[in-house]
Chains A and B, each alone.
Chain A
Amino acid sequence: MPDIKVTPLGAGQDVGRSCILVSIGGKNIMLDCGMHMGYNDDRRFPDFSYITQNGRLTDYLDCVIISHFHLDHCGALPYMSEMVGYDGPIYMTHPTKAICPILLEDFRKITVDKKGETNFFTSQMIKDCMKKVVPLNLHQTVQVDDELEIKAYYAGHVLGAAMVQIKVGSESVVYTGDYNMTPDRHLGAAWIDKCRPDILITESTYATTIRDSKRCRERDFLKKVHESIERGGKVLIPVFALGRAQELCILLETFWERMNLKAPIYFSTGLTEKANHYYKLFITWTNQKIRKTFVQRNMFEFKHIKAFDRSYADNPGPMVVFATPGMLHAGQSLQIFKKWAGNEKNMVIMPGYCVQGTVGHKILNGQKKLEMEGRATLEVKLQVEYMSFSAHADAKGIMQLIRMAEPHNILLVHGEAKKMAFLKDKIEQEFNISCYMPANGETTTVTTNPSVPVDISLNLLKREMALGGPLPDPKRPRTMHGTLIMKDNSLRLVSPEQALKELGLSEHQLRFTCRVHLQDPHSDTDTLSRIYSHLKSVLKGYAVQHLPDSTVMVESIVLKVSSSAEEPDLKVVLLSWCFQDEELGSFLSTLLKKGLPSAL
């Protein structure tokens, strides 16, 4: 039976790294190649030995697809392509292609320079890896080869995030990556058409959450900023330039306006340059509606937000500063942090996840004393706030997506089957589809029922229709006879005569003849009549005819009776039938061999 195999790489129940292998129609595809941020050793990389025990992966994979730039989806990509070895195409959207290398380099710097690790990819490897990238546009079908095609859909979540449809023939799989179904301020909600994939693969990490509204998260942010400003404190917001920063700026600007606040808000210059870059990426990526609303404000003409100069950090009084980099691991944000950390009136707001080894990670774990360069210790007295703004789909979102795409099966990765029995039941009951929940390292095989499109000849179609009966209905299959011609890549269904004609063969008819001997004292004509009556009573559903030319016909089978002058009571019944009526013909000969009932 045709099937599709899905294997999430990784061991046990660990979440935090996405790397899924799909085998479909003879093609092998790797979906995402994430790094596990919780490990410091080789466990952070996906286990590629599943694909091959030794050597490069190029021969075993038809393509690699990356859904978005978060490190748990792309962090292991340079390791996979340059250290394990893969030279085939890597597909991702344009913004992902632009942002990935920046994040990977940042990450590499932290891991190697800060933590002194050795078995890690180099800057050059990142560059070499990105050379293999083929960028994708939304809703554009890309032919990876003759048989494999892929298409990207808008996923929301972060800039450039995509859900991907993979198709071979009439079998297809949709992988969602991370997505959200409630529109974000600048990103909008995920969207897909009723593409009816055989399998919809999605994360189950957030499947059991019910998300607090975006507004409440923003409220919390504004409340915290306001409280600090009110008591004369300074607020540092380390950001990665490309993403939330703009959104938070707009939020603060409107708030300042409304509350008539006077404290200065600064945006570090490094951010402004990167923001420009982001802006351009963003504009070409998002849809018309979002573009219009977002573009309404010119990001560099905030009334209350000014460019930062590092001397301002020493100014007295309250202020808010957005500075890079986002995890406080280097640069301006770390410098400012060092100056402000000792005052409990101040605050640092971390808007997202921080990688191990960074100052951000340490303070989010409650560390109050930090060791800086030159053995200096820094006391952390300022208030630390961890806020999560990233948009993920929750239980409701998954149901909405299933309703949109109408998959035949759904596969949830990164969940514990026991802890998701309810969701499985819910999905199966509401949509009447199967829900699979493989553990990491476990392969799920889903049997598909692909339809094979075949061209039917007009003559054959007309002939079938002439037979009458109900009109063709896709829900009621009908058996028909024809000849299937498979030539090159086309499939055609034609009548047998036409097939023979095309092949230059003449049609042969097969006819069987059989003689049954009967003892019957009547005349030949009477015997024939008796046979007729007998057959008519036995074969009630069939067309039995007694013809004037002294033959009996049952469907197309012909019966004649004759006898010799020497033995007039020994009747010879000649039966003749063609190949198509073989079964009935055999039945009749067996029946007549038993003799005629005397009651006739």
Chain B
Amino acid sequence: TANMDISSDEADDWFMESLHIYRDLHVFQLEHPTKVIEWTGEKSICVADYSSARNEILELLLPLKLYAGGNKGLCPERDFKLQHGGFCDEPVECLRHIFGKRCVVTSGQYSSKLQVWDIGEGDSDIIKRTGVINPKCPSDKGRKIASGVTDGASVLHGSRINDVQQTELVSGRVLYAVGTDSLDAVSGLQFVNSSTFVVCANNGTLYVGDTRDPRMKHYVLHGSMSGSHWVFALRKDQPHSDPAACTVARLSSFGQVLVSDLRNLCSPVRQAQLNLQQNMATCDFLNVTWAPVLDSCLAVSGFDGKVHIFDTTSWSTVSQTPQPVFVHRGHDLSHEAKTDGTLLVVTTHVWHPWRPRTLLSAASDGSIHVWDWVDKNFEHF
């Protein structure tokens, strides 16, 4: 039964504390958990089921209160609005919004195909499937996807390094395929600019490619603990004239973080050993992201039911164990659906594109939070 009174248990403590440590806090419960949160517009995101029989893809409009600016007090709208919805025939592994279009591409856990969806405009609220991309070679299930960044809608996708390819959406034409036979599993990929892209393998090796050349440069990771699973995040260093000026962060399932300059991937500029133990048997939810507005700030999740934020400015080439500047414990402590005792884990998180300290995070119990944390070092907003 629901707690009828605010008593002094841990959840209440956290809620009380939340008055000071968050500016804004919204806690929602989806019907089914998602492992993807993808921005599809300035105020909208897409989420998708990965666990049920009928997997829904939903486009949600963020609570209007967040955007009310000066008139925030007069806006009572705290809820997500479901704008569009569709059904996918398999649990969604990866979901990417296509740059410049009202379109997303998904990969699923049952097959190696990619599905192309039209989110729809004002008239109908259905997310409709408009096409399927079958990779032109044998592939594992659940391919990783990245959106092309040019006007011609395309996706870069792969499950192993040797099957990474770029497909044009409308025609289904393969625009590019890598010319290497490495069988390393892909953990993530992303375009740096219209032709340069980076792929991170599960073992931490980075591949830098150019769609005008099938050969790729690769940078093997040294000193990685055996059994590590790595994920990566890319941040464009702005303003900068050199398009290749990017910072790459790699995170391992043992909590190791390496920060490197894209122009020199052999030696990391910073590194750390985070004090994070992975509870899960699966590395499925491991996630590292760079803050788009704050400098040198990154967020980490997938180890447990929390999101950890670090400021890497003070890190050096010598690995130390830094303290996070903030930890979001909301998923652990506002756990509505007390389930079968399986450990709660944050499945994904994203930063808001322009609000400096706003993040969205989702967890395995179906919860999804929107939170704006207070940096203790800056009391004023």
Q: Chain A interface (Cβ within 8 Å of chain B)?
A: 183, 185-186, 208-213, 215-220, 222-223, 226, 250-251, 254-255, 258-259, 289-290, 293-294, 296-297, 364-366, 383-388, 394-396, 399, 418-423, 425-426, 429-430
A258 to B6, CA, bound (A): 10
Tell me whether A383 and B73 are in contact in the complex, defined as CB-CB below 8 angstroms, given that A210-B28, A254-B6 are known contacts: yes
Tell me whether A219 and B15 are in contact in the complex, defined as CB-CB below 8 angstroms, given that A210-B28, A293-B4, A386-B76 are known contacts: yes
Whether the pair A219, B73 counts as a contact (CB closer than 8 A) is no
Given contacts A210-B82, A213-B334, A220-B78, 14 further A-B contacts (CB under 8 A): A209-B81, A210-B79, A210-B81, A212-B27, A213-B336, A219-B25, A255-B6, A366-B74, A384-B74, A386-B73, A422-B84, A422-B126, A426-B87, A429-B54
A217 to B26, CA, bound (A): 8
Task: Say yes or no for B71: interface residue by CB 8 A criterion.
Answer: yes
A11 to B326, CA, bound (A): 52
Whether the pair A215, B15 counts as a contact (CB closer than 8 A) is yes
- The residue from A217, A223, A290, A420 contacting B78, defined by CB atoms under 8 A apart: A217
Task: Say yes or no for B2: interface residue by CB 8 A criterion.
Answer: yes
Residues of B within 8 A of A384 (CB): 73-74
27 contacts between A and B (CB under 8 A): A183-B2, A185-B2, A208-B82, A209-B80, A209-B82, A210-B30, A211-B79, A212-B79, A216-B78, A219-B19, A254-B5, A258-B6, A296-B5, A297-B5, A364-B74, A365-B74, A384-B73, A386-B75, A388-B76, A418-B123, A419-B125, A421-B124, A421-B126, A422-B85, A425-B87, A425-B126, A430-B54
Main SS at interface, chain A = helix
Task: Say yes or no for B131: interface residue by CB 8 A criterion.
Answer: no
Distance from B80 Cβ to chain A, minimum over Cβ atoms (Å): 4
Residue of A nearest to B371 (CB): A216
Whether the pair B78, A251 counts as a contact (CB closer than 8 A) is no
Whether the pair B81, A208 counts as a contact (CB closer than 8 A) is yes
Distance from B121 Cβ to chain A, minimum over Cβ atoms (Å): 11
Whether the pair A422, B86 counts as a contact (CB closer than 8 A) is yes
- Mask of B24-37 contacts with A, CB within 8 angstroms, 1/0: 01111111000000
Q: Chain B interface (Cβ within 8 Å of chain A)?
A: 1-2, 4-6, 8, 15-16, 18-19, 25-31, 54, 56, 60, 63, 71, 73-76, 78-87, 123-127, 334, 336
Residue of B nearest to A386 (CB): B76
Whether the pair A418, B76 counts as a contact (CB closer than 8 A) is no
A76 to B4, CA, bound (A): 35
Residues of A within 8 A of B25 (CB): 216, 219
Distance from B83 Cβ to chain A, minimum over Cβ atoms (Å): 8
Residues of A within 8 A of B126 (CB): 421-422, 425
- The residue from A220, A250, A396, A419 contacting B29, defined by CB atoms under 8 A apart: A396
Whether the pair B87, A429 counts as a contact (CB closer than 8 A) is yes
A399 to B56, CA, bound (A): 14
Residues of A within 8 A of B334 (CB): 213, 215
Residues of B within 8 A of A395 (CB): 31, 82
Residues of A within 8 A of B73 (CB): 383-386
Distance from A418 Cβ to chain B, minimum over Cβ atoms (Å): 6
Tell me whether A212 and B125 are in contact in the complex, defined as CB-CB below 8 angstroms, given that A396-B31, A422-B86, A425-B87 are known contacts: no
Residue of A nearest to B63 (CB): A212
A-B pair number, CB within 8 angstroms: 120
Whether the pair B79, A209 counts as a contact (CB closer than 8 A) is yes
Most buried by B among A208, A293, A385: A208
Distance from A223 Cβ to chain B, minimum over Cβ atoms (Å): 5
Whether the pair A421, B29 counts as a contact (CB closer than 8 A) is no
A423 to B1, CA, bound (A): 29
Distance from B235 Cβ to chain A, minimum over Cβ atoms (Å): 31
The 10 closest A-B pairs by CB, nearest first: A422-B85, A212-B78, A210-B80, A293-B4, A213-B27, A388-B76, A208-B82, A183-B2, A385-B73, A209-B79
A258 to B9, CA, bound (A): 12
Whether the pair A213, B19 counts as a contact (CB closer than 8 A) is no
Residue of A nearest to B74 (CB): A386
A383 to B82, CA, bound (A): 31
Distance from A87 Cβ to chain B, minimum over Cβ atoms (Å): 40
Distance from A422 Cβ to chain B, minimum over Cβ atoms (Å): 4
Residue of A nearest to B75 (CB): A386
Residues of B within 8 A of A429 (CB): 54, 87
Whether the pair B79, A394 counts as a contact (CB closer than 8 A) is yes
Distance from A428 Cβ to chain B, minimum over Cβ atoms (Å): 11
Distance from A323 Cβ to chain B, minimum over Cβ atoms (Å): 20
A182 to B324, CA, bound (A): 35
Residue of A nearest to B83 (CB): A208
- The residue from B19, B85, B336 contacting A223, defined by CB atoms under 8 A apart: B19
Whether the pair A366, B15 counts as a contact (CB closer than 8 A) is no
Tell me whether A219 and B18 are in contact in the complex, defined as CB-CB below 8 angstroms, given that A294-B4, A388-B78, A425-B126 are known contacts: yes
Residues of A within 8 A of B27 (CB): 212-213, 215-216
A365 to B71, CA, bound (A): 10
A259 to B80, CA, bound (A): 31
Whether the pair B125, A422 counts as a contact (CB closer than 8 A) is yes
A220 to B371, CA, bound (A): 13
Distance from A388 Cβ to chain B, minimum over Cβ atoms (Å): 4
Residue of B nearest to A211 (CB): B79
Residue of A nearest to B23 (CB): A223
A216 to B333, CA, bound (A): 13
Distance from B75 Cβ to chain A, minimum over Cβ atoms (Å): 7
Distance from B126 Cβ to chain A, minimum over Cβ atoms (Å): 5
Residue of B nearest to A251 (CB): B6
Distance from B91 Cβ to chain A, minimum over Cβ atoms (Å): 16
Residues of B within 8 A of A293 (CB): 4-5
A434 to B73, CA, bound (A): 41
A383 to B80, CA, bound (A): 25
Whether the pair B85, A426 counts as a contact (CB closer than 8 A) is yes
Distance from A105 Cβ to chain B, minimum over Cβ atoms (Å): 26
A297 to B5, CA, bound (A): 10
A422 to B81, CA, bound (A): 13
Residues of A within 8 A of B29 (CB): 210, 213, 396
A419 to B59, CA, bound (A): 13
A323 to B253, CA, bound (A): 56
Residues of A within 8 A of B4 (CB): 185-186, 290, 293-294
Distance from B204 Cβ to chain A, minimum over Cβ atoms (Å): 37
Residue of B nearest to A348 (CB): B73
Residues of B within 8 A of A254 (CB): 5-6
Distance from B144 Cβ to chain A, minimum over Cβ atoms (Å): 28
Residue of A nearest to B60 (CB): A210
Whether the pair B28, A211 counts as a contact (CB closer than 8 A) is yes
